[in-house]
Chain A
Amino acid sequence: MRPRSLLLLGAGFTVWAVAFVALYAMLSVGCRFGWHEVALDMAGGLSLQRLQLIAIFLVHLAAGAAVVVVLRLWKDRGFLYPLAYFAAIAALGASVFSFAGVFFLSTCQ
């Protein structure tokens, strides 16, 4: 077993964790700077706050999907690889489940 395969087990959920920290941090930064009160006409009236949160969400979703694609290609390399692949799928599902709120939840007071 090469050490890399062990690290790959956590690859999907590392992307999830980075998304969590990024969304949490930028939510607070946006509220502090009043981005929720900046409506963007070119984005159909969406606030700058919601737009940046959605952008962070989508970037991480793409990164999570890329991890899934790569691990799918490596699936047959050894015992831990398919496990890492399924863990990455679970992480992608968890991202949608826990972060989709950026589309509809209130962001600031």
Chain B
Amino acid sequence: MVFSDIPFLFYFLPCFLGVYFLSPKKLRNFVLLVFSLIFYAWGEPVYISLLLLSSVVDFVNGLAMEHFEGKRAKQRIFLCISVFVNLSLIGVFKYSGLIVESLNTVFGLSISAPAVELPLGISFFTFQTMSYSIDVYRKDIKTEHNFLNYMTYVCMFPQLVAGPIVRYSDISKELTQRKVTSDGFVDGCIRFLVGLFKKVLIANQIGSLWDYVNALEERSSALAWLGLVAFSLQIYFDFSGYSDMAIGMGRMLGFSYPENFNYPYICNSISDFWRRWHMSLSVWFRDYVYIPLGGNRKGKARQIINIIIVWSLTGFWHGASWNFLIWGMYFGFILAFEKLTNFPKMLPKAFQHVYSLFIVLIGWMIFAVEDVGGIKTYALQLFGAEGFVSPQFFYQLNNYLLILIAGVLLSTPIAAYAKKYVQKNKYVSCAVSFGACICGVLLIIASLAMLIADSYNPFLYFRF
């Protein structure tokens, strides 16, 4: 099940909210857990066992580490077990196919690849349970003794399949004592709606343009760039929309999940981009890989190596395909370059943005085209290998112009500025709120229309 489909909106969400808020507070974690397991099993009836395995292993590890309080060596064994089990799960279920296939190609072998499908959300929940064990080991958090609360943390459906990656420390207090205020509930609900609009009304609409461009064999330069712009907007509105829906639902229940996106496309350098894009993942890699590797404390050379390692892993996390590794390394090298030089800070402001967006767009090409030969072809076409403009470009531009403009504007904080500006005057503010409220209702209806009438509703993170 995904948040942006009719079964979720019409049946799952109302049922869940009804049962949840009618239950006494003591039972709410249990209700949340049961609904979460149904939510997961709806898409992955078999692999729910992996989710349970990963959770139980780390719960037991946490208890064991507490038992061996003061005995670092023994604690370390349990830490290793956690890391080993979780990475093995990811390794077997996500990467084994790719690795076997690549070995076959390189060495001319014919080992049969294990026939496993990628379990939904495996990269998210293993990272969460691992972070729990590591934090217990580091004494950043206390061991959770209540299995129900712990399971609720790992499995709760708002963030289970597509993040944000919530760390135990983010919500440990809220697991036992969370307050749901009517303000929080309403704000959360509106955040959810905003996410829904982003996903259904913008990402899905623009996504079909990228699918069209990607399926072509010959693209004029203008069309190839238009395709990349479409994909950039699609993945941003899809992913951040999904995070908004998660954060919003969390809020409705009284949880505060970490923010995941902060207008990434207004970045003025690539370092800045990664402080704004999928923040919960970047922070995870920073805290559990980059800093333990020595971060920037062991000299420039070591720092550069660390950056490249961390970004290679970040890239590879996005899917079992070599292009994601290349995508990560690409950013690793650019970040290293930015660290070593004063680039792009010495450029005028406008050029800093142009440079950053250029790098990001080329990055999305590596990310989205997937096969390495295709990336090369696409790159050549970006720079005119099949001519600079074509009728298809004008045709598609004509079809998608309005939605592209909306996408570009809404990926900047323009709406937030406008809100601030409007709030200066009480009457204007009231009128605008009224208008926004009516628009909101219309957009809900439009979103439902899209979901009912159009079968195009991709789930982009099935490879994560």
Binding between chains A and B: no
Chain A interface (Cβ within 8 Å of chain B)?
none
Chain B interface (Cβ within 8 Å of chain A)?
none
